[in-house]
Chain A
Amino acid sequence: MNKKPSIFKSLRLGLIVLFCLIVYAYGFQVTQVSFKEISSQRRQESLTRVLRALARPDLIEYKQEETIIKTSIYVPCPESEIPSIEIDKSKPYLVLTPACSEPRKQIQIEGYNFTPKSDGSLYFIPPSEVNLNLGTFTADEKGYFSVMVKVPPRPDTAVQYIHAVSLQRTGSPILTQTAKDTWGKIVETVFLALLATTLGVIFSVPISFFAARNLMKEVTSTISALSLSILGWPVGIAIGVIVTRWVNNQSDILLNNSWLALLLIIVLCAVIWFIVRWALPQEETQRPKFTLRVVRLITLGISGIMAIMIAIVAAKLTMKAGVSIISPLGVFGFLGTFLSNMGEIIKTIMPLAVGIAVGALVSNMFGKAGKLLYLRINPSLHLIANFILGGLAGATVFITISFLINWFYQINDPFKIYTIPGLIGALCGVALAMWSRKQDAIPTGMAIYYITRTLLNATRAIEALIWVIIFVVWVGIGPFAGVMALSLHTVAALAKLYSEQVESILPGPLEAVRSTGATRLQMIIYSVIPQIIPPYISFTMYRWDINVRMSTIIGFAGGGGIGFLLYQNINLMNYRAASAQMLAIAIVVALMDYLSSYMREKVV
C-alpha cells in the first residue's frame, strides 16, 4: 500500500532536483558566469591594481621639498684617470660602481645619508641638460639605498652627471583637492537626503490616512452627496484660482512701499483674528439660525481672501527682503537666497494650493447640501435627482480623465475627447444611481483607499534612481533633481508604512472618541494621531537613513550628491579619488545608521 506513494514521492523529488538544476544552469548562462574570466592573468592584474589604489584613498598629501644630490660620471670611461672627487660624508652622497661605464651597461648606484624612508628619482643629465629618467629609489631606515640602472646610450667626452632627486615631506599633512571636493559633496548628499525626507513626510502623512483601511471603511455617501462633491471640485478649484489671480494682481500696487505692505499685513492679521473669533465661536449648544450662518460664511470667505492677500504680499516681501540681504550677510548669504526662494515657492504654489483648498471646501459643502437634499425634497424626486446628479458627475469625471489622456496622445478631436467620454460617464453615473437606491450606499472611502494604494504601489515600484532620470529632464542635472526623485519615492514608501501603522492602532480609543459625537477629523486628531506619533517618528528616521544611502548613488543618474563625483572618478579610472568618496559614504552611512537607531530608541 505504502510503496506506491513513496516511489511517486522520490520521483517527484528527482524531478524537483532536475528542475532546480536546469534553472541554475540557465541562470549561469544568462548572467554569463565565467570563472575563466575571473582567473585570467590580465583580469587579476587589473583587479590588484584597482584594489591597491582603493586601499589608498586620496585624502591627504604633504608639501614636498626636493634636494638634488649630484655625482659625475664618464660615459664611456676616459683613457686618462678619472679625477677623484671629494666627498663630504656628513651630507647625502652617491657612489657609483663602477665610476665610469660604457653606454647600455648596468651600473650600481648607492646612496648614503639620505633622509630615512624617503623616496626619490634618479636622472641622467647629459651636457644638453635634459633629464633622462633612470628610475626611482627608496631609502631604508639608515638612509641607504642601492639600485641597478642601465646607463643611457649617450656617450660624450665631457663629464656627465647623475642626479638623485630626493623628495622630503615638510610640514604637516594637508587635505588634497579630492578630499575637499568629497567633503563638499558629502554635505550636499546629507542635505539632499534631509530635504527629500522632509518633503516626503509633509506629503505622506495626510496621504497615509487615505490609505488606511480602518479609517476609510466607514466613509460612505449617498449618490447625491457623492455627485455633488465631485461637481464641487472643479467649481471650487476655478473659484480658488481666479480669486488668487485677482488678489495677486491687486497686491502689486501695495508692494510699492514695503513698510506700508508690512503694516497692511499686520492690520489684516488682526482683522482676520477678530472675524474668526466672531464667526467661529468655540462652543455652541444651539444650532444658529440660517441667516446668521450665511453671514458667518460670507465673512469667513472675505477673511479667506484677506488671508490669501497676506500670504501673497508676505511671499513677495520675503522675496524682496531675501534678495536684498544676500550681499550684506556675506558667508550667510545663503539665508537670503533661502528666503527669496521660499517667497518664490509660496507665490508660485499659491494658486494651486488655494485652488485645491477651496475645491475641497466647496466639494465638502456641496456634499452636505446633497445630504440635505434627500431630507428636503419629495422622496419621489430622489430617483430623478440622483439620475441628474449622477449623470453630471459621471460626465465630469470621464471628461477630466479623457482630457488627461488627450494631453498625452494629442488626439485633439473634440468629439472623441469630450462628447463620447461625457456620454459614457453620464451613463455610468446614471447606472450607479440606479444600482444604489438606498441611502449611504456607495463605499466612497474604500474607492479612495484602493485608488490611493494603487498609485502609491505604482510609484514605489519605480526606484528613485529611475525617477531621477525623469526629473533631470525637467529641472536639469544636479541635486535638485535628486531631491525631487527621492521625495517622490519617499512619499510613496512612507505613506504605505504610515498607513499600516494607522491600520494597527487600538480601535478602543477611536471608538470612545467617536462615541462623544466627534467629527471624523476630530477622531483623527484626538485618537489616531497620539497613537501613531512614535511609529511615525521611527519610520521617518528609518527613511532618512535609507535616503542618505540612496542619495549616495542618485548622482550616478545625474541627481547630484557624492554619487556624481564617484561615478566620474570611476569612469576616469581615478581609483584613489573614488576610494576617498567610498570611504566618505561608508562613514556617513554608518553614522546615520547609528544616529537613527539611537534616536528611535530615544523616542519610542
Chain B
Amino acid sequence: MLRVQNLTKIYEGGVLALDNVNFEVPRGQFLAVIGLSGSGKSTLLRCINRLIEPTSGKVLWNEVDVTAASEEELRLIRRKIGMVFQHFNLVHRSSVLTNVLAGRLGYVNPAWSIINRFPKEDVEKAMKQLARVGIAEKANQRADELSGGQQQRVGIARALMQDPAMILADEPVASLDPVLAHSIMQYLELINKEDGVTVLCSLHFLDLVHRYAHRVIALNEGKLVFDGLPEEIDDNRFKEIYGKDAERVG
C-alpha cells in the first residue's frame, strides 16, 4: 500500500511542480498517471523513491515513512522499488548483462561489487530475467548496440532484478513506436499480474491507459485533477485534464 499525502514539490527556480497531491495505491494495482508534458508526472514518480527530494508532504509505503528515511534506510526502500525510464537510462558502454546486474546493487555487498563480482545466483537470475523479456542472446552485447525496444526490455529486466514490490515506470513507451509500445506494456502487465507487483506508470496515450490500467490519476500543473477508472474519462473530463483546446483522437 502506497500513500501519498499533501505532496508538494517546488523546484529551486520556484516552479511549483507538485501541488498538494494526495492519493493511495493498493498493493498489486496497475495505476496510470496521465497529464500534459510538464504537468509533474516525472516529478511525482521520482518523489516516491526520493530521487527528487519533496519540498513537503509525506510518502508512506507499507506504513514506512519514505520521506523521513535516513540514507541507509532509503537504500533498503529503493531496492524494493524498480524503476523504468522513458530514455531507458542504460549505461551505454557496459554489457547488457552488467546493466541487468546493476539492479542487484542494493542487495550485494558493496565491497564485492566494487571489483565487479556478483554472486553466481545473481548472474543466473539475470540470465533468467533476460530470457523472460526475450533477449537472452544479447547478454554480452554492448547496451548501445541494441534497438530502442530491446533497450527498454533490458531496463525492465534490471528493475526485475530488484525483486521489486513496486515498479515506477516514467513514460516507458514514449520513445518507442506503437507496436513496440504494446509489447513493452504487455511485459509490465505480465509482471503486475504474475508477480503481483504494484505498477505506477505514466502514459501519454489514452488507448494504452484503457487497455492496461486498473485506475488512472491525472495531473494538471501539479494538481491532482482526476482519480478514477479509465472508463470514467469522458469528453468533459478529458478537457479538464488536457485543457480546453485539446482534441480527442482515436
Asked if A79 is at the interface (CB within 8 A of a chain B CB), the reply is no
**Residues on the B chain within 8 Å of A517, using CB:** 74-80, 105-107, 162
- Is B158's CB under 8 angstroms from A516's CB? yes
**Residues on the B chain within 8 Å of A17, using CB:** none
- Known pairs A515-B49, A516-B106, A518-B102; A283 contacts B122 (CB<8 A): yes
Chain A nearest CB, measured from B126 CB (Å): 13
- Is A512's CB under 8 angstroms from B90's CB? yes
- Is B78's CB under 8 angstroms from A530's CB? no
Chain B nearest CB, measured from A301 CB (Å): 14
Residue in contact with A522 in the complex, picked from B77, B78, B93, B105, CB distance below 8 Å? B105
- Is B87's CB under 8 angstroms from A521's CB? no
Asked if A252 is at the interface (CB within 8 A of a chain B CB), the reply is no
Chain A nearest CB, measured from B203 CB (Å): 19
Give the distance in Å from the alpha carbon of A108 to the alpha carbon of B57 in the complex: 113
Chain A nearest CB, measured from B41 CB (Å): 15
Give the distance in Å from the alpha carbon of A530 to the alpha carbon of B91 in the complex: 7
**How does the 8 Å CB contact mask read for A530-563 relative to B, with 1 for contact and 0 for none?**
1101100000000000000000000000000000
- Is B71's CB under 8 angstroms from A371's CB? yes
Asked if A508 is at the interface (CB within 8 A of a chain B CB), the reply is yes
Q: Which stretch, B109-117, B128-136, B207-215, B234-242, touches the partner chain A? A: B109-117
Asked if B70 is at the interface (CB within 8 A of a chain A CB), the reply is yes
- Is A282's CB under 8 angstroms from B109's CB? yes
- Is A280's CB under 8 angstroms from B111's CB? yes
**Residues on the B chain within 8 Å of A527, using CB:** 91, 102
**Residues on the A chain within 8 Å of B102, using CB:** 512-513, 516, 518, 526-527
**Residues on the A chain within 8 Å of B117, using CB:** 282
- Is A280's CB under 8 angstroms from B112's CB? yes
**How does the 8 Å CB contact mask read for A265-296 relative to B, with 1 for contact and 0 for none?**
00000000000000011111100000000000
Chain A nearest CB, measured from B59 CB (Å): 14
Give the distance in Å from the alpha carbon of A519 to the alpha carbon of B110 in the complex: 7
**Residues on the B chain within 8 Å of A282, using CB:** 108-109, 112, 117-119
Asked if B179 is at the interface (CB within 8 A of a chain A CB), the reply is no
Give the distance in Å from the alpha carbon of A280 to the alpha carbon of B111 in the complex: 8
- Is B79's CB under 8 angstroms from A509's CB? no
- Is B92's CB under 8 angstroms from A525's CB? no
- Closest residue of chain B to A300, judged by CB? B111
**Residues on the B chain within 8 Å of A526, using CB:** 91, 94, 98, 102, 105, 113
Give the distance in Å from the alpha carbon of A277 to the alpha carbon of B8 in the complex: 46
**How does the 8 Å CB contact mask read for A169-206 relative to B, with 1 for contact and 0 for none?**
00000000000000000000000000000000000000
**Residues on the A chain within 8 Å of B78, using CB:** 514-517
- Is A512's CB under 8 angstroms from B85's CB? yes
- Closest residue of chain B to A371, judged by CB? B70
Give the distance in Å from the alpha carbon of A90 to the alpha carbon of B55 in the complex: 109
**Residues on the B chain within 8 Å of A368, using CB:** 72
Interface size on A, residues (CB 8 A): 30
**Residues on the B chain within 8 Å of A531, using CB:** 91-93
Asked if B103 is at the interface (CB within 8 A of a chain A CB), the reply is yes
Asked if A511 is at the interface (CB within 8 A of a chain B CB), the reply is yes
Residue in contact with B93 in the complex, picked from A283, A285, A533, CB distance below 8 Å? A533
Asked if B217 is at the interface (CB within 8 A of a chain A CB), the reply is no
**Residues on the A chain within 8 Å of B89, using CB:** 506, 508-509, 511-512
Asked if A375 is at the interface (CB within 8 A of a chain B CB), the reply is yes
Q: Which of A494-522 contact B (CB under 8 A)?
A: 506, 508-509, 511-519, 521-522
- Is A516's CB under 8 angstroms from B93's CB? no
Give the distance in Å from the alpha carbon of A84 to the alpha carbon of B174 in the complex: 113
**Residues on the A chain within 8 Å of B92, using CB:** 506, 509, 530-531
- Closest residue of chain A to B93, judged by CB? A530
Asked if B32 is at the interface (CB within 8 A of a chain A CB), the reply is no
Looking at B81, B91, B98, B109, the one whose CB has the most chain A CB atoms below 10 A away is: B91
Chain B nearest CB, measured from A540 CB (Å): 17
- Closest residue of chain A to B70, judged by CB? A371
- Is A522's CB under 8 angstroms from B113's CB? yes
**Residues on the A chain within 8 Å of B66, using CB:** none
Chain A nearest CB, measured from B37 CB (Å): 17
- Is A516's CB under 8 angstroms from B162's CB? yes
- Known pairs A517-B78, A522-B110; A512 contacts B158 (CB<8 A): yes
**Residues on the A chain within 8 Å of B90, using CB:** 509, 512
**Residues on the A chain within 8 Å of B51, using CB:** 511, 514-515
Give the distance in Å from the alpha carbon of A595 to the alpha carbon of B151 in the complex: 36
Give the distance in Å from the alpha carbon of A527 to the alpha carbon of B99 in the complex: 9
Give the distance in Å from the alpha carbon of A512 to the alpha carbon of B92 in the complex: 12
Asked if B83 is at the interface (CB within 8 A of a chain A CB), the reply is yes
**Residues on the A chain within 8 Å of B109, using CB:** 280-284
- Closest residue of chain A to B120, judged by CB? A282
Chain B nearest CB, measured from A440 CB (Å): 8
- Is A513's CB under 8 angstroms from B119's CB? no
Give the distance in Å from the alpha carbon of A7 to the alpha carbon of B22 in the complex: 66
- Is B114's CB under 8 angstroms from A521's CB? yes
- Closest residue of chain A to B73, judged by CB? A375
**Residues on the A chain within 8 Å of B119, using CB:** 282-283
Give the distance in Å from the alpha carbon of A371 to the alpha carbon of B75 in the complex: 15
Give the distance in Å from the alpha carbon of A530 to the alpha carbon of B113 in the complex: 14
**Residues on the A chain within 8 Å of B161, using CB:** 516
Q: Which of B32-89 contact A (CB under 8 A)?
A: 49, 51, 70-72, 74-83, 85, 87-89
Give the distance in Å from the alpha carbon of A283 to the alpha carbon of B124 in the complex: 14
- Known pairs A375-B70, A512-B83, A512-B158; A518 contacts B106 (CB<8 A): yes
Give the distance in Å from the alpha carbon of A509 to the alpha carbon of B80 in the complex: 18
- Closest residue of chain A to B95, judged by CB? A530
Chain B nearest CB, measured from A451 CB (Å): 23
Q: Which of A443-492 contact B (CB under 8 A)?
A: none
Give the distance in Å from the alpha carbon of A522 to the alpha carbon of B74 in the complex: 15
**Residues on the A chain within 8 Å of B82, using CB:** 515-516
Chain B nearest CB, measured from A191 CB (Å): 31
Chain A nearest CB, measured from B161 CB (Å): 8
**How does the 8 Å CB contact mask read for B158-197 relative to A, with 1 for contact and 0 for none?**
1001100000100000000000000000000000000000
- Is B85's CB under 8 angstroms from A516's CB? no
Give the distance in Å from the alpha carbon of A521 to the alpha carbon of B110 in the complex: 8
Chain B nearest CB, measured from A411 CB (Å): 42
25 sample A-B contacts, Cβ–Cβ < 8 Å, listed by A number: A283-B109, A506-B89, A508-B87, A509-B92, A511-B51, A511-B89, A512-B85, A512-B155, A513-B105, A515-B49, A515-B81, A516-B79, A516-B82, A516-B83, A516-B105, A516-B158, A517-B76, A519-B75, A521-B110, A525-B114, A526-B113, A527-B91, A530-B92, A530-B93, A534-B93
- Give 6 closest A-B pairs by Cβ, nearest first: A517-B106, A517-B79, A508-B89, A512-B89, A518-B105, A517-B78
10 other A-B residue contacts (CB within 8 Å) besides A283-B108, A515-B83, A526-B94: A284-B109, A506-B92, A508-B88, A511-B85, A514-B51, A516-B105, A516-B162, A518-B106, A519-B105, A526-B113
